[in-house]
Structure 1
Amino acid sequence: MAEVPATPTTTARRHRGITVGPTTGRYLSAFKTPRGLIGLSLLGTLVLAALLAPVIFPGGYDDQGSDALTGPSAAHPFGRDEFGRDILVRSIYGLRINFSLIFLAVPLSMVLGLVLGLAAALSARLGAGVQRIFDIIIGFPGVLLGICLVTVFGPGRLALFLTILISGIPVAGRLARAAWLSQQNREYVLAARVLGISRWHILARHIVPNAMDAIVLNASIWMVTGVYIEAGMSIVGLGMQPPTPSLGVLLNNGLRFVDQSPTYVIGPALLLLLLTIAFSLIADALNRAVNS
């Protein structure tokens, strides 16, 4: 009998001598495309700059100089703020705040959404109740939800973290629920039930893998949303509080001095734009890879 040709969906792939599963192989293939390479390179550069900020700028983000609100120069490409602090240095340190929020809140949000979305597999009534909770959360736009959380916890990192976390749960949860509803009556799932395989095993073996592509794509998109939630809340004074820098805090402060020093706003806005482009390119590359 002739052998069935191996396909990416049924066999492992090899990347640079390392054997990986078919799902991981699809994700890795996204970063071989121009969009994926550019997005990953741009994001890697920003992450590296944020991580090495204490080494590159040992004086810290609060180092003050004698000149205030000066324009860009070779030593200070974004100029200085109202206290004579280097805006580029504060922007790079601000990236650390943004990355610490989105790289923790977004994955945790996707995991919680996945778990809650699959609650319908355990109990139809429990699944319906969880969906009503999702509907309530979706009814609150990100900034409005943030305002509610700020009234409880006060402005700062915790309120920002919870806003990004809670806002992303319903989207991931609905994707997981859709995967369960679309797969629960498939023949292989019904056969597994007849054979007495536990529902937990069916979820782990069949349902979760079918939901992962959508969850991963949503996570890459939600990174952009998380960046804008931080910026939006901080601009209106509900996010990080001065003197701690974040891109939103810098934009909030810079708007008051935009006539005197336009680069006070342009510098942080440029980093915000680059961050958005990086995540958008990665999301697009992943989307093409999993749907090709």
Structure 2
Amino acid sequence: MTATTNATTTPAETAAESAAGTPATPRARSAEGRRRYLAALRRPRGITGLTLLVLLAAGALLVPVLSDGYDQQTAATFASPSWQHPFGTDELGRDIFVRTLYGLRADLVLLLAGVPLAAVIGTLLGIAGGLSRPLGMLMQRTFDIILGFPALVLGIAIALILQPGTTALLVTIVIVLLPGFGRLARAGLMEQEQREYVLAARVLGVPRWRVLLRHVLPNAIDPIIVHTAIVMVVAIFLETGLSIIGLGLQPPEPSLGVLLNSGVRFLSLAPAYVLGPTVVLLMLALAFTLLADALNEAVTRS
């Protein structure tokens, strides 16, 4: 362990940490973080949220194996819910339950690609002020401009520029979520910059980028991880909103928003057309909300 610490720590940083009384080698901080996050998943809310998410993800992953595809048509149009068709069938005789799971699959891909990408880019832009104050101010003004537009309006503009589809949804999710991550990272930067070990490291000549990566970012990561779980819900409803107005994924490719867009026209004929996708959508949002609550509780009480 000593060899590892020496390999990753400069003499100036070692002196600064000793002088300021800071703990934490990177490995120790990483182990402590994992302990908190695993503790969150053992809380009732964490267990419930994780169970829901695993069940939904399993259904989305296994649906290609268990079905003949989302566009398989039959003669049974607007069939009532049954064991064979739990959510009934649509106007073309397609199984709504199967299409819902395929739609869930598409939504999960968007979430797991867009939200982490927004987290990484937003965090890096947020701590850019640690390298250059003018750059940090420029990033904050950029975040203010993005926040000046309602998320749905911004999504509509992006969809009109890029054409509706997966790319437009992904870009919209990333851009809409950037300010939240950037501001959290900026707040962490401003807090950590006043700590003794950071000031000591700078006095001893440790490069700014190394101070940011070694000290500032690891100590500001907890709020960012909690925020990641929270904004998963925002991304879900952003995709749904754009798809409902026809600017998300395009039929026949399903998403939860596409199914709601199609089903609302036949609400009187087949209520399950809308009810099934809505229940799955709410379960997905609930899963991430419970996980976010559990993470936040574990972080604040640790």
**1:185 Cα deviation after fit:** 2.1
Equivalents in 2 of 1:167, 1:242: separation in Å?
A: 24
The reply on whether 1:24 has 2:37 as its aligned counterpart is no
1:89-128 correspondence runs (5 A):
89-128=98-137
**1:25 Cα deviation after fit:** 1.1
> Which residue matches 1:242?
251
What's the TM-score once normalised by structure 2's chain length? Answer: 0.90
Equivalents in 2 of 1:121, 1:265: separation in Å?
A: 49
> Which residue matches 1:224?
233
The reply on whether 1:138 has 2:151 as its aligned counterpart is no
Q: Which runs of 5+ in 2 are unaligned?
A: 1-22
Structure 2 counterpart SS, 1:102: helix
What's the TM-score once normalised by structure 1's chain length? Answer: 0.93
Residue deviations 1:34-54 (CA, integer Å, cap 9, x gap)? 110110011011111111111
Residue 26 of structure 1 aligns with an amino acid whose one-letter code is: R
The reply on whether 1:60 has 2:35 as its aligned counterpart is no
**Correspondent of 2:57 among 47, 55, 70:** 47
Residue 25 of structure 1 aligns with an amino acid whose one-letter code is: R
**1:183 Cα deviation after fit:** 1.5
**Correspondent of 2:185 among 165, 172, 176:** 176
> Which residue matches 1:6?
none
Equivalents in 2 of 1:81, 1:25: separation in Å?
A: 47
Structure 2 counterpart SS, 1:256: helix
Equivalents in 2 of 1:197, 1:96: separation in Å?
A: 46
Equivalents in 2 of 1:82, 1:266: separation in Å?
A: 15
Equivalents in 1 of 2:156, 2:254: separation in Å?
A: 20
**1:11 Cα deviation after fit:** 8.8
**1:13 Cα deviation after fit:** 11
Structure 1 counterpart SS, 2:72: coil
Residue deviations 1:13-39 (CA, integer Å, cap 9, x gap)? 99xxxxx61011111110011110110
**1:12 Cα deviation after fit:** 10
1:253-292 correspondence runs (5 A):
253-292=262-301
> Which residue matches 2:44?
34
Equivalents in 1 of 2:189, 2:45: separation in Å?
A: 32
Residue deviations 1:97-124 (CA, integer Å, cap 9, x gap)? 1011010000010000010001111111
Equivalents in 1 of 2:230, 2:152: separation in Å?
A: 17
Q: Which runs of 5+ in 1 are unaligned?
A: 1-8, 15-19
> Which residue matches 1:3?
none
Aligned-residue RMSD, C-alpha: 1.7
> Which residue matches 1:4?
none
The reply on whether 1:214 has 2:223 as its aligned counterpart is yes
Residue 296 of structure 2 aligns with an amino acid whose one-letter code is: N
> Which residue matches 1:193?
202
Structure 2 counterpart SS, 1:218: helix
CA contact (8 A) 1:12 1:25 kept: no
Which of structure 1's runs of 4+ aligned residues deviate more than 3 A? 9-14
Equivalents in 1 of 2:215, 2:27: separation in Å?
A: 20
CA contact (8 A) 1:30 1:286 kept: yes
Matched residue count: 279
